[in-house]
Amino acid sequence: MAKKDTYLALLRRGIDETTSMTLADAGLKIGDLKKITIETLTDNYGLKKKVAESVLSVISAEPSSQGRQRYLSKVLTSDKKKMDKIEEERFKRQQKDILADLEEEIERLKSKLSKEGIFDLKKEIPMFPENIGVLTAKDSHALKDVCSKLQEKYPLARVCVYPSTVEGASAQMSLAKMLNKINKDNIVDVLLIVRGGGSLQDLMAFNDENLVREISKSRIPTITGIGHKPDITLADYAADSAQETPTAAAIKAVPDCNVVRQDIYQLDISIN
């Protein structure tokens, strides 16, 4: 219901249907959009800069007369409640159709890559990494959660952040390009590829064929933490280790320093 309300509210302000649907699908509300930045819309939601600027320029204003007229002509009749119900059902059917098409597309690609053995190429995760890479959106909750957990469990490691768009039309290219750079730089011992939860549409960048192939052939061991249980993407299948959340990926990447200290202490006692 919240998605539908956002979608209709954006239409009333004269924002085009595609952009309105993108923002509504992302779970954003009008209140969220009033606090958001152009950079966030472009980096996290895949909007072009001009589109993002247009959205923010009208979002704080009342619906434009042109937008209101378009909205009224499309959605409202004398029987408003009836039309609202029809619009809601249409919106739900569209969502189901989109999801069904995406799921079918993912399954076809999964079968193709599986037959090629793309998901069988696994590397060992190092036990005591000195340098840990994190590939995710800049200033995201996922990044904060990962850094916090790594600091808590294993503060000896150095964390290298590689920012990328993780959602929207340009996300898969941004992720693949950054992954290629990480391998060329060859600085980190293990790489965490993470992002927070979202809808199937939100996570589609991680089902991109080129990105999945790049993850599979990465010389640096990879750990994914994409979304939340039960989210799973083709990137998870290609990674050397797939975890349910970004925090779980951080836990998988490092030992517990307290356990290491205890082991050293016990070893010292046994020797002496």
Q: What is the pLDDT of residues 145-189, one digit of tens each?
A: 999 999 999 999 999 999 999 988 889 999 999 999 999 999 999
Q: What is the C-alpha separation between 244 and 21, in angstroms, rounded?
A: 28
Residue with tokens 């979304």: 227
Segment 96-141, tens digit of pLDDT: 667 788 888 999 999 999 999 999 989 999 999 999 999 999 989 9
pLDDT, the chain, mean: 84
Q: CB neighbours of 35 closer than 8 A, spacing ≥ 6?
A: none
Cβ neighbours, 10 Å, residue 103 = 12
Tokens 């649907």 found at:
21
CA dist., res. 106 & res. 122, Å (int) = 21
Reduced to 3 states, what is the DSSP secondary structure of residue 248? Answer: helix
Query: Considering the entire predicted model, what is its pTM?
Result: 0.66
Supply the pLDDT for residue 84.
61
Statement: residue 41 has pLDDT above 70: yes
pLDDT at 262: 79
Q: Which amino acid is present at 107? A: E
**Largest alpha-carbon pair distance within the chain?**
90
pLDDT of residue 64: 47
Residue 46 is classified by DSSP as -
